[in-house]
Amino acid sequence: MRVGFIGLGNVGAKLSGSLLRNGFDVMVRDTDKDVAAALMEQGAVWADSGRALAEVCDVIITCLPSPVVSAKVLEEENGVLEGISEGKIWLEMSTTEAEDVQRLGALVEAKGGIAMDSPVSGGCHRASTGNIAIFTGGKREAFEKVLPLLSTMGREIVHTGKLGSASVLKVITNYLAGVQLLSTGEAFMVAKKAGIDLAVAYEAIRVSSGNSFVHETEGQLILNGSYNINFTMDHEVKDVTLFDDLAKSYDVPVELSPVCVSAMEDGLKRYGPRVWSSQVVKRLEDDCGMDLRAPGFPEYLTDHEPEEKGAEVVVTFRASYE
């Protein structure tokens, strides 16, 4: 099975690296060929166009920054769609909207291909070790075909249902992470104002009902002051806005979501689009004239768990696969 990988950013380079490290035949493409250099040294082959990549690969993976970019990569002249033929699988690993992936999926299927959405969740540090979580939407038989790839790139793989369902769940989980990031910053600031050692506060929250994945990961980077989560503020604003728009489209009267979007937009306005998303907590630090530093916390996250082959998560009470 030959795999084509388009989009070698913070996440894409790590996912494609996992495939190479585990013996897969990988072809790569990005707008910047220089970012592919390390992967090519490991055996990856460069593709001069999306069409050229799709023509020779069995599975075409896209891992791109926005729905607009994904659409361009597929639909442009010499793009992926021009190289799609019978039986080829397009695996969309970008964070996108269900409607976008379904529209593009219909174009793929019209050419005899198979479309799946397969975003990841869990942070760049886990993507680098093949231990990240992966959601995948699409037909069950197609899911079973790509499971060897998915279980190489990720640890826990969830077949979410029909095409587009994985993208919905990815937007939902990103929104939850955004809310938890804001609440983590507020909790730390209240603890500090109350005179509590922030290292103690961190551990107390970690072992309590108030714990979250964001607290255990981004919380450490806030206390260090690096904020270096390898995810930028512009993407954070995009993600929480995707959720807010999704909720509105279903007439769900959400209350926390607009507050979250407003806070993230203010962070972007204050600090710029390319700062790390965790820096949204700096708003509180600036407004209170007090930082949230504590000694001993890491500058960046490292996944200390050994790389293991992933597996599908069994959903005990699943009603159906569609």
Query: Which pLDDT score, from 0 to 100, does residue 134 have?
Result: 97
Query: Does residue 145 share a domain with residue 10?
Result: yes
Domain match, 268 and 179 both: yes
Residue 227's CATH number: 1.10.1040.10
Crossing angle between the packed helical segments 256-271 and 233-249, to the nearest 10 degrees? 160
- For residues 118 and 196, state if they share a domain: no
Q: Return the pLDDT at 308.
A: 86
pTM, full prediction: 0.94
Whether 136 and 190 map to the same domain: the answer is no
Residues 204 and 146 in one domain: no
Catalytic residues: 170
Considering only CA atoms, which of 48, 39, 6, 1 is closest in space to residue 20? 39
Contact of 181 with 280, CB cutoff 8 Å: yes
CA-to-CA distance for 95 and 237, rounded, in angstroms?
A: 13
Residue 235 in domain: yes
Same domain, 68 and 122: yes
Do 28 and 157 belong to one domain?
Answer: yes
Q: Which residues of 53-89 are buried (b: 16+ CB within 10 A; e: fewer)?
A: bbbebbbbbbbbbbbebbbebbeeeebbbbbbeeebb
Q: How many structural domains comprise the chain?
A: 2
Within-domain flag for 281: yes
pLDDT digit string (tens) for the chain, length 322 residues: 999 999 999 899 999 999 999 999 999 999 999 999 999 999 999 999 999 999 999 999 999 988 899 999 999 999 999 999 999 999 999 988 899 999 999 999 999 999 999 999 998 899 989 999 999 999 999 999 999 999 999 999 999 999 999 999 999 999 999 999 999 999 999 999 999 999 999 999 999 999 999 999 999 999 999 999 999 999 999 999 999 999 999 999 999 999 999 999 999 999 999 999 999 999 999 999 999 999 999 999 998 888 889 999 999 999 877 7
- Residue 301 three-state SS: coil
pLDDT value of position 67: 87
Between CA 9 and CA 307 the distance in angstroms is 21
CA 233 from centroid of its chain's CA atoms: 14
Q: What is the CATH number of the domain that holds 57?
A: 3.40.50.720
Decide if 75 is inside a domain: yes
**Per-residue confidence (pLDDT) for residue 96, from 0 to 100:** 87
Q: Do 156 and 193 fall into the same domain?
A: no
- pLDDT at site 83: 98
Q: Does residue 319 form part of some domain?
A: no
Contact between residue 138 and residue 162 where contact means Cβ atoms under 8 Å apart? yes
Burial of 278 per CB tally in 10 Å (0-12, 13-18, 19+): buried
Residues 52 and 122 in one domain: yes
Does any domain span residue 186?
yes
142 within a domain of the structure (yes/no):
yes
| Domain annotation covers residue 263 | yes
CA distance 224 to 68: 35
> 298 in a domain, yes or no?
no
Question: Do 198 and 154 lie in a common domain?
Answer: no
Q: Which domain holds residue 150?
A: 2-163+306-312
**Residues 148 and 278 occupy one common structural domain:** no
Both 106 and 186 in one domain: the answer is no
